[in-house]
Structure 1
Amino acid sequence: MECQNCQDREEHTCDNQMTGTYNGVIRHGHIQTNLGHTCGGYSRSQTVNERYCISIPDSYPLEAAGPVFCAGITMYSPLSHWGAVKGGMNVGIIGIGGLGQMGIKLAKAMGNNVTAISTSLNKKEHALKIGADRFVLSTDKESMDGAANSLDLVLNTISAEHQLGPYLSLLKRDGKLVQLGFVLGNHQVSQFPLMMKRLTIAGSLIGGMLKTQECMDFCAKHNIILDTKMITNKDLDQVYKILDAKNDQAVRYVLDIEKCN
């Protein structure tokens, strides 16, 4: 709580390292568990400093709150930071998995024109259903050409190996492409389109506690709720097999800790 980042309420960027939500080393004594490390959503309970508590409005279903603190804040933070929270922007969301679906709903509720971008045509119907104004098939040249120079802000949620270069063509002058999905391989980017249109490539990771509360309140106000499926510990092996095969499920799996044994 002492570095400049923490004082700016961007605790996740702490100069002295944050304590991760799951399997995290407890670094600063602001969290207590009976195992000495954090257990995330597998916890029945844990004790935290009040600064790290989030108030969930009574109107919001508890089972849907968990995804808000992960997918929700991951998308809300860059939308807020780069001005989309004020509305009136053309926002693109690459990848229509858990992050992408939340991004579409948030960006639309903020009053933006939203373009869903995916390698799978099967995602089109669902993307439009949850709020996207337009769908772009990134593997189709005609579809990509039709959306060229149309977006102010693009949030890239893809976590599989890929190159971001082709998506730069979608940006207008002064457009921004924000990397959100973890990819271990290097991206190869030509500087020519960056120079010609004064483009920006940036990155973002979750968000601070004040911004997380803001995201929670926004979701409650606009009734932004992801589809969830309650599971117990007996379902975990099968769920992980599903997610490992292709993590683009339209449903968020939520562990019902009270029914686990």
Structure 2
Amino acid sequence: MTCIFEFIQWKKVLVRTCHLLLVFGVVASLAFQPSQLRTALYDTSNYLYCITYGLFVYLSLFFYFMTCYTDPGFVPYKRVPNWSGGMVPLSDDEDDDDDDDEGNEQKAVTTSKTHLRKCLLCNIEQPLRSHHCDFCNRCVLKYDHHCPYLETCIGERNHRYFWCFLLATEILIIWSIVICSQSFVPFSDWSSWLHINKFRLFAMHVLVVSLCATTALFCIHSFFALTNSTTWERVSRHRITYLNRLPDEDLNPFHQGYCHNFFYSFLCHRIKEQQWDIVYKKRVEEHVTLYITAAKGYAVDSASSPFKLLNFERRVPRNDDVVIRIHYCGICHTDIHDARNDWQRSTYPMIPGHEITGIVEQIGSDVKHIRVGDSVGVGYMCDSCLKCDLCKKDFEQHCSDMCVTYNSTELDKVTPTYGGYSNLIITREHFVCKIPKNLPLDAAAPLLCAGITVYSPLRRFNVGKGSRIGIVGLGGLGHIAIKFGAAMGAHVTVISTSESKREDAMKLGAKKFLVSKDKEQMKGAKDSLDFIIDTVAANHDVRDLIDLLVFEGVYCSVGGPTKPLEIEPMSLISKKVKITGGAVGGMKETQEMLDFCGKYGITCDIEKINANPETIKTAFDRIVKADVKYRFVLDMLNSF
């Protein structure tokens, strides 16, 4: 490490020495060759010309070294032992005061209400707009870039000096080009002209190249100064959390007016007042307020009509609401039943989708546990009374006033609900779940319905180590049920009509595979299972499945066939078999399920597609034909 540090220091010395030699070399070539500058040196009446030129040489070098040796805004080393990651604004009642002995400068960067993340290299909390420089090995406030010509970072505290260096150098180069162009000695012979003017040609070449580079940099950084932005934020916007989650990709959350940006924030920079999180929050809230109720999604107008793009309005956010920019939405078989009115309960226009994941854009004043920037999900329900006995027991899904995420109404029984095939959703905080940070939003989306649908009965009947469970069907629900069962320590048997699914079942964690059409296999497995979860949505005979259960075994149907089950009563009587069902889970259980997935790294196997009327129709048709492994997920973020 010492050798690397010494190399970096010597590199800085070498680069800066080369700059000095280059500047003095060009100036010397102009001063000691016949030129207007040389003439002015020997003409006392023209001293002002030389002094002014020399002043710009001095200013260029002065601002060069001011930029080099000014602290660019290195974030002070302040350890954060209890860091949990994510963009988490502190609550109003949290103590955000710094110790008195930290000093004003330390307070300026640590009293921020919002932090982005912990830098794993510096082991410090990064304030908003800071970034780790790999060359300096430090985190820099309002990081712009690392300049190899100065061998230093350009950041919040030295950016203005860099801009002044570019301005002074620009003027100096233009002036030097004029002087150099007037100093060429004319010759009729081309070779003699080249020989006599070779030093001037070299100087002119260096000056023109320098002018092009300096002009480009000066224009770019003038733009950044006027708009209060940086090179890093412009180039890497898609990778910066506090920028890529904004609803408008052209929104600059730090823009406060051109004059204010340039004179107050840039030239007259005051570190004590640069609390970018305050500016950010104000700008984002202004933007969201303007656009938050306007939404768009893919809807159907009847059971037979195709999907179309529909512009609609979400409700005005309330104090306990969370506004979510939808990134992904899984396609559930229920979406198909509802869109095609298979259950004779559909209302139109309908925007399906209840396997929703996205990023929080805005929260109400009464929201306590969700923060702006959190990765969250919304499932089958979006509201309930929260007052009845069922709600108090965390069975919100069974509340008589429960509001389904789509094809329903809100608690007022008037306002329709629209689902996740859209760009944003506004939901009560209680019905928003946090997605663990190690789960990708696309593969986590089906967990909000398919995942909790199979997880809830597994937990309800205490499936665990030593349990012998059967999973009927290897589709969207079945494949995640296998993963859950294996993670819980159960011996998993998969029951399917197709032998071709054996290999996939074993890869997912099953220990045994039965072909339901093979009577000998089914007979040989009689009385071998404690619990069966049936995920098949198609109508099928379950009598052979009941025979697989042991005494007091449990059969649970979650697939939702459209016709009544055919059951042999004597099988129930002789073995006291329990017949039950399941429909998603309460919010507490859903969050438990997501945390369980985060702990064991469980996600759904998906096929991700862009959302448009054609792709949605194709996905519906393929799901009906069981032609998907194992869940379609719509990329809503990139589909509008």
TM range (shorter): over 0.9
User: Deviation digits for residues 213-261 of structure 1, max 9, x if unmatched?
Assistant: 00101111111112222211232222122112x1352132111111112
Query: Which residue is equivalent to 1:57?
Result: 436
1:23 aligns with 2:407: yes
Measured in 2, the distance between the counterparts of 1:202 and 1:260 equals 40
Measured in 2, the distance between the counterparts of 1:89 and 1:191 equals 25
CA shift at 1:43, angstroms?
2.7
Measured in 1, the distance between the counterparts of 2:582 and 2:620 equals 26
Query: Which residue is equivalent to 2:574?
Result: 196
**Structure 1 counterpart of 2:619, from 239, 242, 245:** 239
**Structure 2 counterpart of 1:155, from 533, 540, 543:** 533
SS of aligned partner of 1:153 = strand
Please tell me the residue identity of whatever aligns with 2:616: L
User: Deviation digits for residues 168-222 of structure 1, max 9, x if unmatched?
Assistant: 1100111000011112222232221212111111111110000000010111111
Query: Which residue is equivalent to 1:96?
Result: 474
SS of aligned partner of 1:176 = strand
Please tell me the residue identity of whatever aligns with 2:556: V
Please tell me the residue identity of whatever aligns with 2:400: D
Measured in 2, the distance between the counterparts of 1:170 and 1:124 equals 19
Query: Which residue is equivalent to 1:259?
Result: 638
Is the 1:5–1:15 Cα contact (8 Å) retained in structure 2? no
TM-score normalised by the chain length of structure 1: 0.92
1:137 aligns with 2:523: no
Q: What is the CA RMSD across the aligned residues, in angstroms?
A: 1.6
Please tell me the residue identity of whatever aligns with 2:486: K
SS of aligned partner of 2:437 = coil
User: Deviation digits for residues 68-111 of structure 1, max 9, x if unmatched?
Assistant: 10110000000000011x33200100011100001000011000
1:10 aligns with 2:395: yes
Please tell me the residue identity of whatever aligns with 1:229: E
SS of aligned partner of 1:72 = helix
Measured in 2, the distance between the counterparts of 1:96 and 1:251 equals 8
Query: Which residue is equivalent to 2:545?
Result: 167
CA shift at 1:28, angstroms?
5.2
Identity over aligned pairs, percent: 38
Measured in 1, the distance between the counterparts of 2:419 and 2:466 equals 36
Query: Which residue is equivalent to 1:228?
Result: 606
SS of aligned partner of 2:589 = helix
More displaced stretch, 225-234 vs 169-178: 225-234
Is the 2:444–2:604 Cα contact (8 Å) retained in structure 1? no
Please tell me the residue identity of whatever aligns with 1:188: E
Measured in 1, the distance between the counterparts of 2:500 and 2:585 equals 31
Measured in 1, the distance between the counterparts of 2:539 and 2:461 equals 25
CA shift at 1:14, angstroms?
0.4
Is the 1:98–1:248 Cα contact (8 Å) retained in structure 2? no
Please tell me the residue identity of whatever aligns with 1:83: N
Higher RCO (CA-CA < 8 Å; seq separation 6+): 1
1:69 aligns with 2:448: yes
Distance 1:208 1:248, change over 3 A: farther
Is the 1:168–1:193 Cα contact (8 Å) retained in structure 2? yes
Task: Note the residue ranges of structure 1 that are not aligned, 5 or more in a row.
Answer: 30-34
Report how many aligned residue pairs link the two structures: 253
User: Deviation digits for residues 127-166 of structure 1, max 9, x if unmatched?
Assistant: 1110000000000011101211000000011111112111
Query: Which residue is equivalent to 1:32?
Result: none
Is the 1:172–1:197 Cα contact (8 Å) retained in structure 2? yes
SS of aligned partner of 1:80 = helix
CA shift at 1:36, angstroms?
4.1
SS of aligned partner of 2:554 = strand
Please tell me the residue identity of whatever aligns with 1:73: I
Query: Which residue is equivalent to 1:83?
Result: 462
TM-score normalised by the chain length of structure 2: 0.39
More displaced stretch, 165-174 vs 36-45: 36-45
Larger radius of gyration: 2
Measured in 2, the distance between the counterparts of 1:37 and 1:28 equals 9
Please tell me the residue identity of whatever aligns with 2:403: T
Query: Which residue is equivalent to 2:6?
Result: none
SS of aligned partner of 1:253 = strand
1:209 aligns with 2:591: no
Distance 1:70 1:13, change over 3 A: same
Distance 1:101 1:256, change over 3 A: same
Is the 1:41–1:255 Cα contact (8 Å) retained in structure 2? no
Please tell me the residue identity of whatever aligns with 1:94: V
CA shift at 1:116, angstroms?
0.2
Is the 1:96–1:248 Cα contact (8 Å) retained in structure 2? no
More displaced stretch, 119-128 vs 185-194: 185-194
Measured in 2, the distance between the counterparts of 1:154 and 1:248 equals 24
Measured in 2, the distance between the counterparts of 1:178 and 1:248 equals 25
| Dislocated runs of 4+, deviation >4 Å | none
Distance 1:95 1:166, change over 3 A: same
More displaced stretch, 63-72 vs 229-238: 229-238
SS of aligned partner of 1:83 = coil
**Structure 2 counterpart of 1:183, from 561, 567, 574:** 561
Task: Note the residue ranges of structure 2 that are not aligned, 5 or more in a row.
Answer: 1-385
Query: Which residue is equivalent to 2:417?
Result: 38
More displaced stretch, 159-168 vs 66-75: 159-168
Please tell me the residue identity of whatever aligns with 1:239: A
Measured in 2, the distance between the counterparts of 1:128 and 1:149 equals 22
Please tell me the residue identity of whatever aligns with 1:61: P
Distance 1:28 1:77, change over 3 A: farther
Measured in 2, the distance between the counterparts of 1:102 and 1:80 equals 14
CA shift at 1:2, angstroms?
1.5
